[in-house]
Structure 1
Amino acid sequence: MPSTKQFPHPPWLAIAMVAVFAFSASLRFWQLSRFNTLVFDEVYYAKFANNYLTQTQFFNAHPPLSQYIIAIAMWLGEHMPIDRDIVNGLTGSLHSPWSYRWLNALTGSFVPLVVGGIAYQLSDRRSYAVIAAIFAAADGLFLVESRYALNNIYLVILGLLGHWFLLIALKTPKKKRYLWLTLAGTGFGASAAIKWNGLGFLLGAYLLWIVAWIVKWGREQGAGSREQRTGRDKGDKGDKEATTNSQLAISNYQLPTPLEMAFYLGIIPVAVYSISWIPHLMLNPTPNFWEMQREILFYHQRIGSGADVHPYCSRWYTWLLMLRPVAYFYKTTISLDESVPVVGPSIPEASAKVIYDVHAMGNPILWWFSAVAILYAIWIVAKSAIASFGLAKVFVTGNSSQAQNRIQNTEIQNIGIYLYFALNWLANLLPWIRVTRCTFLYHYMGASVFAVLALAWIVDRWLRSYHRNLRLLGITAIFLILLAFVFWMPLYLGLPLSPESYRWRMWLPSWV
């Protein structure tokens, strides 16, 4: 007699995530030592990391955590049998480029998985998680930042881990969620210990908590008023129904109390940030901790802005449309037979036949679509806020059927997701309005993740639509994003290009 036992469904979410990780890792580790030099800000971070290894005193204009990580990578990398014959002494000691880049590459490979994890916690949709992870893996700026000893990839992944752990904690029973809240606070504190702008992730969490408590308070007030009216006529049964209806309108998340927020997302981040300075202060006892914070602030205030400071300075409002990317590496040669030049000036472009350019730029189609998506999310939230009086009236009077309640609560959940995108995007972007120093496109990386999440959410909804045109629109959007990633990949990986091929990829004059 044949068995009636059903075969389990294949864990396609795990399979998809493993595939995304393998794809991301292969691009990040491919010929990692190809440019045997210090690329862009590796002249700071790789050198600073080596200073920790050699116990050389120095001034660091950023918190030190990323340089510790790179130093650990350098020490471990020197014991790996990979690219041992490709070395340079540009950090102050003899190291291979692999040694100071491999951990960045590994860390960057996990970013799409964390983005997918956040997407899944927000929606419980496997399709949304996979689309979000694919979009994150198809972003060129994250690929470039992962292939060199820079610090932005650590800032972003630690901040995102803080959000991921926080979302898990909010779905976990109160007696079991303390570990997740501790991990969330640790992630937020560690992100700030990379750069101060890592605080944007923590600010977003606080903004969401404040708004959630305001909304919850408003609904409880409405539910209480309704219970008073229905209780006189329906007794205990009416009270039970009113309570059930009010619960339908409240998110599945269990909000932290003010005391929990103060400890887990207040004291713990501050403690993590402060502890991260101990190795630096042991090597550099003066200035002390508080003086060092002031020195960092004054250092960045003294940096000017404009082309005279750096040719690739860009203002915050240009980042959405990616108007000014950054050239991290640019060299020209006569032919492909020549080795990749890493030192000395380039030959005149008029006589060059081959161009090697590592351009720190996002996937243009992904960024432009994401800019529209996040602005749409803000519009949805603003429209909901304007209409909130009418929504509150329904909760107070109870004049809605059970079916209408289900529809309303679905819309509330969707608005809550849009609110998550909007507040986190604004928290990571708007503080840059007051910054007068020279800023760069990579300062938008933290905010850009939430714009990508918004786009992935919209595309997933299109793919689930009953309308054929919307499903086709979703498929087209995914295809164009992946096609653009392949088209601009030579600029992400520094592949050799002819001058004509290079110009084809410089769509805007400001990109050069």
Structure 2
Amino acid sequence: MSMLRPMIGFKKLSYSSIPWFSIGLTAIFLGSVVLRFWGLGRFNALVFDEVYYAKFANNYLTDTHFFNAHPPLSQYFIAIGMWIGSHLPFGQDNINGLTGSLHSTWSYRWLNALTGSFIPLVVAAIAYQLNRRRSYALIAAIFAAADGLFLVESRYALNNVYLVILGLLGQLYLLVALSQPKGERWRSLALSGIFFGSSACIKWNGLWFLLGVYLIWGVAWALRWRRLKVKNQESRGWLVPWSAAKAQHSKLFQTPLVNLTEVKVFPFLLNFALIPVLTYSFLWIPHLIMNPNPGFWEAQYKILTFHEKIGDGPNVHPYCSRWYTWILMLRPVAYFYQTAQSINEQVPAYPPLPSGTGKIIYDVHAMGNPILWWLSTAAILLLLLLLVQRLWLGWRGKFLPTTVNYMTLYLTFNWLANLLPWVKVGRCTFLYHYMGASVFSGLSLAWIVDRWLHSDRSQRQNAAIAVIGLILLAFVFWLPIYLGLPLSFESYHLRMWFRSWI
């Protein structure tokens, strides 16, 4: 342990002649690519919601009229991937006509796999922008790469990886803009708005990433207003001078979030209201050209009413779960499950074996890394308590513009923005609806672990190394059910720790 600590210390990462940061991110990216592409064409079937999205994507390629209960952008991506994949000299082993045309399974999955491979890098970029610590960025990337739900979602023709990466790119370019001089921010702010509008054009809950921006910007302005009011009272001799309190806690401003209130109302509404709306609207044009009926506004109404009519509970879908269960991962989703007599049999087999007759289980479970999720939940709840205390100080005019305060504000409000809107949703929801929020709880855990790693106390350093090690070990342990590898009944149930997971 004592030999490991200096090797991963921040100073060593920053000043060593060996580019550990670049090597680390490259290794994480390549590992993500390998895990997402390995055996990608297996299960010659439509897995879970591929029965919708892969079919809808093929409809664009065959000029077939259809209605989709979500905006069209993810189907554009999958259709492009199918067209490119169908013209490649590899990945043509497993071909079926389940989408309405003959396509290989690899063709309608590869672009999702590539997109999902970049998510750890985008998370690392956000972490680095928050406090300029390379060690924090590396830990955040490791945690993002070690999450099983993101791995599963990346290996099939589903839409959540597009929603998450576009929403995170919107967040990233906001942070990039805040780190730039005032006169040079407009490009990054506009790009941020474009990415937010694109995320909403995957699913409407992509707007939760934009909601987080509204919350942190509004709170930052409220704190500034309160601080100025208290400062005026100080000048009249009513309170202890703000300047004196600030001097006692002054720190280097390492986060661009301290510049939030430099974004005034008009540019904020331009980049985070008008541009997202225009982006969302323009992205509908290819769909409307091919499917002129219903029109744009009628399509929005039909999408809304469709989701309002979906019920809830096991009668609708056996894996429905409520929002408050997600933070503890009480009800994951089985995307694929079939048994076989041996690993040499073709899977899926039609018809499937009768229940209880198989000896081998093939299971693709859309569940996060349990150790990562549970520790991340503890981390974000700890920051939430810290935020309450800091906002109370802010009401008294003493919210200091430090990295710790603004990162706490950023992480907790983005987590809440991606979770709390689901409280009022009455339709059947699933664990994957927590993916956006889980990024910010994971960033919170990575931040705490990074601070422990740089602590002067060996106990905290050891705890940080133990947390990283446990998360990686858990990822390896549950990897067979992320990849759908063959398992004996005993090995399968060894990984199903709770009845609600099955």
Q: Same fold (TM over 0.5)?
A: yes
State the structure with more CA Rg: 1
Alignment of 1:445 with 2:435, yes or no, is yes
Aligned positions, number? 481
In structure 2, C-alpha distance between the alignment counterparts of 1:511 and 1:438, rounded to whole Å: 17
The reply on whether 1:506 has 2:496 as its aligned counterpart is yes
Match of 2:424 among 434, 443, 458: 434
CA contact (8 A) 1:352 1:499 kept: no
| 2:177 aligns with one of 165, 169, 179 | 169
The alignment-based identity, stated in percent, is 60
Aligned alpha-carbon RMSD (Å): 2.3
SS for the counterpart of 1:445 is helix
- Specify the SS of the correspondent of 2:175: helix
1:311 equivalent in alignment to 2:318: yes
CA distance in 2, matches of 1:98, 1:439: 28
> Which residue of 1 is the match for residue 146 of structure 2?
138
Q: Secondary structure of 1:98's match?
A: coil
Of the candidates 351, 361, 368, which is equivalent to residue 355 of structure 1? 361
Matched, 1:297 2:297: no
- Asked if 1:116 is matched to 2:106, the reply is no
Deviations 1:162-204 (A, max 9, x none): 0000000011011111111111001100000000000000000
**1:256 to 1:387, Cα distance in 2 relative to 1, 3 A:** closer
Name the CA distance, whole Å, in 1 between partners of 2:370 and 2:245: 50
Q: 2: distance between equivalents of 1:99 and 1:336?
A: 25
Shift of 1:253: 2.4
1:127 Cα shift? 0.4
When residues 372 and 342 of structure 1 are mapped into structure 2, their CA distance, relative to the original with a 3 A threshold, is farther
How many angstroms apart in 1 are the aligned matches of 2:158 and 2:349?
A: 18
Q: TM-score, normalised by structure 2?
A: 0.92
- Secondary structure at 1:380 match in 2: helix
Measured in 1, the distance between the counterparts of 2:355 and 2:433 equals: 32
Q: Structure 1 residue 147: deviation in Å?
A: 0.2
**Aligned counterparts of 1:488 and 1:435: Cα–Cα separation in 2:** 31
Question: Could you tell me which residue of structure 2 aligns to residue 19 of structure 1?
Answer: 27
Q: Among residues 319, 328, 339, which one is paired with 1:332 in the alignment?
A: 339
SS of alignment partner, residue 352 of structure 2: coil
Q: Which amino acid aligns with 2:445?
A: L
Are positions 1:81 and 2:89 aligned together?
yes
Note the C-alpha offset of 1:86.
2.0
Structure 1 residues 472-509: Cα deviation after superposition (integer angstroms, max 9, x where no partner):
11111111100000000000000000000000000000
SS at match of 1:22: helix
Aligned match of 1:323: 330
Distance apart, 1:9 and its partner CA: 3.4
Name the residue aligned to 2:405: 415
- Relative to 1, partners in 2 of residues 1:338 and 1:203: Cα closer, same or farther, differing over 3 Å? same
Counterpart residue number, 2:159: 151
Q: SS at the partner of 2:292?
A: coil
Matched, 1:370 2:360: no
1:494 and 2:484 equivalent?
Answer: yes
After alignment, is 46-55 or 468-477 more displaced? 468-477
Give distance in 2, aligned partners of 1:458 and 1:140: 21
The answer to whether the Cα contact below 8 Å between 1:122 and 1:167 also exists between their aligned partners in 2 is: yes
Report the secondary structure of 1:60's partner residue.
Answer: coil
Structure 2 CA distance for aligned equivalents of residues 281 and 459 of structure 1:
48
Matches within 5 A, 1:36-435: 36-223=44-231, 252-254=258-260, 255-349=262-356, 351-388=357-394, 392=398, 412-435=402-425
User: What displacement does 1:289 show?
Assistant: 0.7
Q: 3-state DSSP class of the match of 1:503?
A: helix
Bigger mean CA deviation after superposition, 328-337 or 213-222: 213-222
Check conservation: 2:169, 2:192, Cα contact below 8 A: yes
Give the unaligned 5+ runs of structure 1.
1-6, 230-237, 396-407
Q: How many Å apart are 1:316 and its aligned residue?
A: 0.5
* CA drift at 1:431: 0.6
Q: Counterparts of 2:290 and 2:466 in 1: how far apart (Å)?
A: 55
d(CA) in 2 for partners of 1:248 and 1:331?
Answer: 57
Cα distance in 2 for residues equivalent to 1:378 and 1:243: 23
Query: Cα–Cα, structure 1 residues 437 and 282, in superposed 2: closer, same or farther, change >3 Å?
Result: same
Quote how far apart the aligned CAs of 1:221 are: 4.0
3-state secondary structure, aligned to 1:77: helix
TM-score, normalising length: structure 1: 0.90
Code of the residue aligned with 1:384 in structure 2: it is R
Does structure 2 retain, via aligned residues, the 8 Å contact 1:332–1:354? yes
Whether the aligned pair in 1 keeps the contact of 2:150 and 2:368 (CA below 8 Å) is: yes
Shift in alpha-carbon separation, 1:8–1:425, aligned structure 2, 3 A? closer
- Can you give the 5+ residue segments of structure 2 that lack an aligned partner in the other structure? 1-14
The answer as to whether partners of 2:226 and 2:394 remain within 8 angstroms in 1 is: no
DSSP 3-state at the match of 1:497: strand
